[in-house]
A and B are shown apart, each in its own frame.
Chain A
Amino acid sequence: MIKKTLFLLLIGMIVFACSQDESTAPEENNDAFDRKAMLVNWADNIIVPSYTAFNTEGNNLVSATNSFTQNPTVETLQQVRLTWIEANLAFQHVSMFEIGKAEALNFRNRVNVYPTNASEIESLIADGNYDFSLPSTIDAQGFPAMDYLINGLASSDEEIVAFYTTNGNAQNYKDYLNTVAETISTLTETVLNDWNNGYRDTFVNNTSSSASGSVDKLANDYVFYYEKALRAGKVGIPAGVFSNEPLPETVEAFYKEDISKQLALEALQATQDFFEGKKFNGTSKGESFKSYLAYLNTIKNGENLGNLITTQFGITKSNVEGLNTNFTVQIESDNSKMLATYNELQRNVILLKVDMLQAMDISVDYVDADGD
C-alpha cells in the first residue's frame, strides 16, 4: 500500500512539474518591434559591406597567388601569405551569415573546414584531377588547404618554394594552389552578387515572425555559428572539450602557427558587433538583437539581457587576449586557460540560444548532430 501511495504521489509530482513548465513557456510574441529596420541595418550596414570587403580580399588573394605561381620566390610566397592572412581575417566577418546563396553553396564549409586533409591534398595534386564542388573535397580546399600549401609543405620558405619550382610535380602544385584561391574568390563573388541582385530585398522584406522569416533564420544561423564554429571550432575542439584528449593539431591556421588567437579575436569582435548592430568598419549602431532585447525589456538576474550579453562578450574577449598567439602552444603548455576561455564562450551560448531566442519567440531550428 505504501508503495502504491508513493507512486500516486509521484504521478502527482509529475503532473505538477508539467504544469510548472507550462507557465514558463514563451508567450506568443506579436510585438511591434520594427523588424524591417533591423533587417535593413543588418543587410545594408553590415552584411553586404562585409561581403564586399571580403570579396576584395579574395581578388587580392587570386592576384598574389597568380604572381607567385608565375614567379615562385620567397618574396612572392610571403606576399601570398600576407594576403591570405588579410582574407582570412575578412572572412571572420561573413562566416556567420550562412543564409541564402551562402547556405545553398555550403559557403562556410567550402571556405574554412579545418583541420585540412593534407594526405587528400597530396593525392589530388598527384592525380591532377579534382572537382571542388564535390562534398568529399571540402577538407581539401579553402583557407586551411592554402595554409598547408603556403605554410605547411616544409619548414623553411626556400623549401616550400621548391615545391613550386624544382619539384617534379611543380606544375600540379601551382595549379592546385591557384584553383583553391580562385574557388574561394568565385564562391564569395557568387554570394555577394546574389545579395546585390535581388536577395537583399527578399531578405529585408521577409519580416514574418515565423520560422521561415529572415529574423528567425538569421538568428538561428548566428547562434549556430557562435556555438559551433566559434565556441567549438576555434576553442572547444582543440582544447579537447569533445574528446578524451586535447587535439592541438585541430586549431585554425595550424601550419601558420601564430594567428589562431588573432582569428578567434576577429570572429569574436565580429559576432559582438553584429549583436549590437554596429556598422561594418564604423562606430554607429542601428537596430539589432540588442536593441530588440531592450525593446522587449528582457530582464535576467535583475539586469537587461542585452547588457548581460555585451558584458559577457567583454569578459570572453579579455580571456582570449590572455592566451598565447598560437593556440597549439597554449594547449600544450597550459590547456586549463583554453578550457577557461571555452567556459566563458559557453556562457553566451546560454544567454543567446536559450534566453535571447526565447525572449524573441524564435525556435532553434537545428539539433546537435549525432556525429555518425
Chain B
Amino acid sequence: MRKLFYPVIMMSLALASCSSDDAAGDVQQDIDVPSNYTFERGGETTVQYPGQTIRLQMSAELIGSFKNFDTATEASLLNMFAHVEGASDFDNTALNASGKNIKSKTAASADYFSANVAESAEIKADFESYISRQVDEVFPNENTTAEAGVAGQIADGSSARYVTGKGLELNQAFAKGMMGALLADQMLNNYLSTAVLDEASNRENNDNQVLDGDNNYTTMEHKWDEAYGYLYGDPSIPTANPNSVLNESDDHLLFNYLGVVDGDDDFNGLAQTVFDAFKTGRAAVVAGDYQLRDEQVNIIKEGVSTIIAVRAVHYLQAGKGAIAEGNMGGAFHDLSEGFGFMYSLRFTNNPNTGAPYVSPSEINTFKTQLLEGNGFWDVTPETLDTISETIAAAFDFTTVEQAAN
C-alpha cells in the first residue's frame, strides 16, 4: 500500500537532475566529474575539512555525556558546548587542543542569522537550557520513576529513558536539534550560500587559481568542502566515497539519517543524489561553472532538508503509534527525537524561496503544542497528525505515510 504514494519529492529531484544534465550539456567537455570525491592540484589533494570533523566529534562526545550521571556537571557540559582552546573539556584530547567549538557555529549562518542575532541568541540559549535542565531536573531524579510532571526514568523495552516531567529526553532534543542548528545551518545556509561562496574576490581568485595562503585550495573550493564536511566529516566516513559506508559508519548525525531515509523505499536513491550533487558542484567550482554549481546547491538544499523532514514526520507518527499501544517510554523516545528534528526544520532551506520549508513561527507553535500542560504525557494524536501533515505538505510528500514508515 505504501508504495502507492510514490514520492513526488523524488520526482522533483529527478527533474532537477535531468535539467542540470541538460544545462551541463553545453559545457560537458569542460567539466570533469570524478567518480569519487577526489580533487587534486599538482598531485596533492585539495579537499580538507578538519574543522568540521572536530565539531562533529565534539557534538558526539557532548551528546554522549548527557547521561554521565555520576561525573557530568552543568559546568562540564556547558564547557564542552562553548569549548575554549586548551581547556580539558573532552576525553578526546585532540579536541581539547582545538580552538574551535560548537556554540559559535550554532544558528550562525550567513543567510539566516548574520542580521538576525537575537534569534540566534535564543537558539543558542535553547541548547544551553537542554544542558542545564538535564543536570537540574533529570540528574536528581535518576532513580525515580517518571510520571506526568515528574522527571525520572521510564522503560522503553529493555532500555531506560530519562525524561523531564513533560516526557522530553533532553539529550535527544539536543542531538536532533543540532542536526539543523549546527550541521544543516552551516552547510546549507552558510557554506553553500552565494554570500559565502562568492564573498569578496572568491570568484576572481577561483577563476585565476589564486590559492588560499599556503593551502592547496582556492577559498571557494574550501568553502564547498566545509559544507561537505558537515555531512561526511565523521572520521569513520571515507572522504572519497562516503556512501561505501552508508548505514555502516559510526556517525550518529545527519549522515546516519541520510542512510536511514535512503533505506526507505519512498526515498531510495537520496544518498546517491546528494553525493552526486556535492561531487558535480565541486567539479563545477574547479571548472568555474557557477551556474552548474548553484544548480547542485539547490539539489543539496532540497535533499538535506528532506532528511530532516522525513525523520520529523517519522518520529511524530511513531510516537503516536506507541501512545496508542500504551508504550509511553517508547513514545517519549520517538517524540523526543521528533521534537528535535522538528526544531531542525527551522534550518532547512527551500531553494525556491531561500527560506525554511516550514516557517519559524509555525515551528514555534508546534513546539508549544507538543509541550503544553504535561507535554508528551497528554499530547493528542490530532496534534501529532496536524504537525505531521503540515510538514508533509510543505515538502510535497504526497501523504504523511510516505515519510512515516
Contact = CB atoms under 8 A, between A and B. Distances in A.
Interface of A: 3-4, 7, 10-11, 14-15, 17-18, 21-22, 25, 103-104, 106, 109, 113, 131, 133-136, 138-139, 365, 367, 369-370, 372
Contacts of A109: 155, 157-158
Contacts of A11: 11
A12 to B, nearest CB: 12
A367 B143 contact: no
B281 interface: no
Contacts, number: 62
Given A3-B21, A109-B158, A131 B143 contact: yes
Nearest to A6: B18
B210 to A, nearest CB: 37
B4 A18 contact: yes
Interface string B1-31: 1011010000100110010011000000000
Contacts of B326: 103-104
Given A131-B143, A134-B143, A18 B155 contact: no
Given A3-B18, A3-B22, A14-B6, A135 B318 contact: no
Nearest to A217: B325
Contact of B160 (A18, A25, A134, A370): A134
A166 to B, nearest CB: 31
B310 to A, nearest CB: 13
Task: Determine the main DSSP class of B at the interface with A.
Answer: mixed
Given A14-B6, A365-B321, A134 B153 contact: yes
Interface residues of B, number: 31
B252 interface: yes
A136 B160 contact: yes
A190 B5 CA distance: 45
A138 B155 contact: yes
Contacts of B155: 106, 109, 135, 138
B170 to A, nearest CB: 15
Interface string B158-202: 111100000000000000000000000000000000000000000
Given A3-B21, A7-B18, A18-B6, A135 B153 contact: yes
A216 B252 CA distance: 35
Q: Closest 6 interchain pairs by CB?
A: A135-B155, A135-B160, A136-B160, A21-B3, A109-B158, A113-B158
Given A136-B153, A138-B158, A365-B321, 18 more contacts: A4-B18, A11-B11, A14-B6, A18-B6, A21-B1, A25-B4, A103-B326, A106-B155, A109-B155, A113-B158, A134-B153, A135-B153, A135-B159, A135-B161, A136-B143, A138-B160, A370-B337, A372-B252
Contacts of A369: 157
